[in-house]
């Protein structure tokens, strides 16, 4: 089983209700786990293009007849 997160496990309680079932499940998962802490640039959004548009001065619309 593979879990990924951008938060360390000690911060997971901020996003999940800290009831006994969650704490019990996390205890079981991390009891015999191999944890890899990786740092570096994210691959997310590498192909994302950003376009910036600047609007000029607004002019009133012509009145319809």
The pLDDT tens digits of the residues spanning 1-54 come to 787 788 877 777 777 766 677 778 778 888 888 888 777 777 777 787 877 878
List of residues 6+ apart from 20 with CB closer than 8 A: none
| The pLDDT of residue 65 is above 70 | no
pLDDT, position 18: 63
Q: How would DSSP label each residue in the chain?
A: -----SS-GGGGGGTS---HHHHHHHHHHHHT-------S---TTTT------------PPPPP-
Tokens of residue 57, six digits: 């001065």
Tell me if the pTM is above 0.75: no
């Amino acid at each position: 089983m593979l879990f990924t997160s951008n938060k360390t496990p000690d911060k997971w309680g901020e996003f999940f209700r800290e009831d006994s079932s969650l704490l019990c499940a996390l205890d079981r998962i991390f009891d015999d786990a191999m944890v890899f802490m990786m740092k570096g640039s994210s691959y997310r959004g590498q192909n994302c293009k950003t376009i910036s548009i600047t609007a000029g001065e607004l002019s009133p619309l012509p009145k319809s007849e």
